[in-house]
Amino acid sequence: MIHGPCGTLNPNSPYMRESVCTKQHPKEFREKTEENINGYPMYQRKCTESVRVGRHDLDNRWVVLYNTWLSKKNSMLPLMQKYALLQKNVKYLYKYVYKGHDAASIRFQNENTLGHDEILSFLDGRYVSAPEAMWRLNEFNLSEKFRTVVQLAFHLPDQQTIVYQDGQEEEAVARASTRQTTLTSWFELNKNDQDSHNYLYTDLPHYYTFNRSLEECLWLTSKILKELWFRYKDALGEDFVGQYSEDSGPEYALAEIEEFFKY
């Protein structure tokens, strides 16, 4: 699929706002996909030859990302796809779904009345549609929680799975040799922690947390988890501060985390 064109090729395009394309086309050429801290990933766009489309010669910068499989499943509409990789992007989507009930602002006004209070004449009311009323009358679940799935590595000595790019095989092997997997880290844990002998490898995520880091990989005990809480409690409680207060927000967040670990 080709976007537009817009910009200097077509200033009258409906995508143009203040002489700028709202879809950020044409995109820049990129040799490889790069992460974007404040937005979507910047995908690879190789410099290719131009193709004649209508009255214009367009290159790879004008190609619209789309998912072939989803487009075939929904043949009436091409589907564009971008991955939301950042935590705050996922948090935004989650908060948007659970942002609250539909509401309406209603105004009551009496004719031929002087000196009425305009503030009291407005009422913020909740709107309940017929499908929602039926759903609640039948006491169906409004939301669900699922347990976290932890993927545990299983491999022979020095045969762990690695990911590499063409021409960088040696560098990838060197990095993998210094990096712990959940299996090798479990062996190290058994050497240093006698309490871990009471748990099977498959049951270990219930009692320990595996910290994935390029510098080191280790199973975190409850003491280290407490240190993490005091270090990041402001960030973890930011969603509760707006609902409650700055003082009680982190407390509600901690209660939510404790309730989660009971499952």
pTM above 0.75, yes or no: no
For residue 182, which of 213, 138, 151, 214 has the smallest C-alpha distance? 151
pLDDT in tens, 135-164: 989 988 877 777 778 888 888 988 888 888
The secondary element (H helix, E strand) that includes residue 56 is strand 56-58
Q: 4's torsion region: left (phi>0), alpha (psi -120 to 50) or beta?
A: left
Of 16-20, 75-79, 183-187, least confident by mean pLDDT is 75-79
Q: How many helices and strands (H and E) does the chain possess?
A: 8, 8
- Average pLDDT for residues 172-186, to the nearest whole number? 85
Please indicate whether residue 136 or residue 229 has the higher confidence score (pLDDT). Answer: 136
